[in-house]
Amino acid sequence: MSILSGKNILVGVTAGIAAYKTAGLVRLFIKAGAHVKVVMTPASKDFITPLTLSTLSKNPVNSSFFDEDEEDAEWNNHVELGLWADIFIIAPATANTMAKMSHGVCDNLLMATYLSAKCPVYFAPAMDLDMYKHPSTMKSLKILKGYGNTIIPATSGELASGLIGEGRMAEPEDIIAFIENDILNQLPLKGKKVLITAGPTYEAIDPVRFIGNHSSGKMGFEIARAAANLGAEVILISGPTHETVSNSRINRINVISASQMYEEVHRYFEAADIAILSAAVADYRPKNVSETKIKKKDTAFSIELEKTTDILASLGAIKKKQFLVGFALETNDELENATGKLKAKNLNLIVLNSLNDKGAGFGGSTNKVTFITEEQDILEQDLKSKREVAVDLMNQIIKQIHA
């Protein structure tokens, strides 16, 4: 999944021959999972039709403050468009538009939207060689970069005039890659490796039956998404679950038993910068596993259990540079028990769940947690969606790492 997935992207189109490329650009943004809206200058409609871009973006295209052909025309609110966008990309950006942007000339909807935008603004220049090299254009580029806008450099190639040189708008694929890399390079976990466990483990009784628990894996999967969205490379080791994830930065490894999870966790722990063990690992397993299905004979049936290896404690004993996070699901003496685990297992942070809190625990879409730091700061959180809890957790980790 692209880092652009779920982002609101506003595409500004100006009047240059390279406007035909915006059809491919919009299509690639949609393919990446982004929400796209398009604003055109009136003259740009001579190069590509609003119908094409509205069809590809799945949204109406705006090019004026109101539609003069409609009796009850509504105002196209440039402020709302500017605030809606997470990213604003102007492609192509002509010499005329860049001059207006650099001097605040507001004579069309696109310019009004640009001046209202609060998000990062990218622009991809496109013009002929002599225009691109003209001192006034060079000055516009310098001013726009000084305003905090990001230029997607023009490339060299055959131009509309027949000349060969610099001024050709970057290809849509290269624009997408440029924006993705620029975003990733600014993310706080760029270059970090995060190891996460999720879900339950199943401990076999015989080939048919097992001992397990009610963990759905939802919390761990949301943590993996949150870490990946912050630029991390994620190893997600999951027990049996119906949860799915689609993100190129998440490598999912499926396991079944506690012993399998132990092996995989230790395989990746040394290279990890952060390890978050949210899986509900079985504390006990059958001492003897039958190779055949156990037949129903007696009214009573007993199974001798033995302890599984405590994965979290084993990591706490060998950790070096890693930031180690554990989870504690408690039903009584919650703070006391969680704080005890924090110390005993050499953790940097523990996330306390209490089954006494409504909306917390296994299976649901919400959770109510308390963060307890190694300094024993107790940070109680409100009931939130598991996605929000995951974001809060990653922010707390980043805060402690940079403290």
DSSP string, 141-206: HHHHHHTT-EE---EEEE-TTS-EEEEEPPPHHHHHHHHHHHHHHTSTTTT-EEEEEESB--EESS
Whether the pLDDT of residue 15 is over 70: the answer is yes
Q: For 85-110, how does the pLDDT look when each residue is reduced to its tens digit (9 = 90+)?
A: 999 999 999 999 999 999 999 999 99
> What does the pLDDT read at residue 263?
98
- Please identify which residue in the block is written with the tokens 């974001």: 391
> What does the pLDDT read at residue 299?
74
Measure Cα distances from 247 to 30, 185, 384 in Å: 16, 17, 23
C-alpha 222/C-alpha 272 separation (Å) is: 19
The length of the chain is 403
C-alpha 381/C-alpha 367 separation (Å) is: 9
| Both structure tokens of 397 | 């980790």
C-alpha 258/C-alpha 314 separation (Å) is: 13
What are the φ/ψ torsions at residue 229 (nearest 5 degrees)? Answer: -65, -20
3-class DSSP state for residue 65?
coil
Domains parsed from the chain with CATH numbers: 8-185 (3.40.50.1950), 193-401 (3.40.50.10300)
Three-point CA angle 59, 87, 147, nearest 5°: 135
CB 190 within 8 A of CB 231: yes
Measure Cα distances from 353 to 58, 218, 342, 379, 381 in Å: 42, 14, 14, 12, 11
Q: Spell out the residues 6+ positions from residue 48 whose beta carbon is closer than 8 angstroms to its own.
A: 13, 19, 20, 22, 23
Annotated catalytic residue, options 8, 59, 213, 346? 213
Residue 2 banded pLDDT, cuts 50, 70, 90: confident
Which of 114-123, 233-242, 328-337 is predicted least confidently?
A: 328-337
Whether the pLDDT of residue 288 is over 90: the answer is yes
Average pLDDT in the chain:
92
Q: For 16-39, how does the pLDDT look when each residue is reduced to its tens digit (9 = 90+)?
A: 999 999 999 999 999 999 999 999
Whether the pLDDT of residue 379 is over 60: the answer is yes
> What does the pLDDT read at residue 356?
66
Torsion region of 224: left, alpha or beta (phi above 0 gives left; psi -120 to 50 gives alpha)? alpha
What are the φ/ψ torsions at residue 72 (nearest 5 degrees)? Answer: -100, 45
Known active-site residue 367: no
| Residues forming beta bridges with residue 352, ordered by sequence position | 328, 370
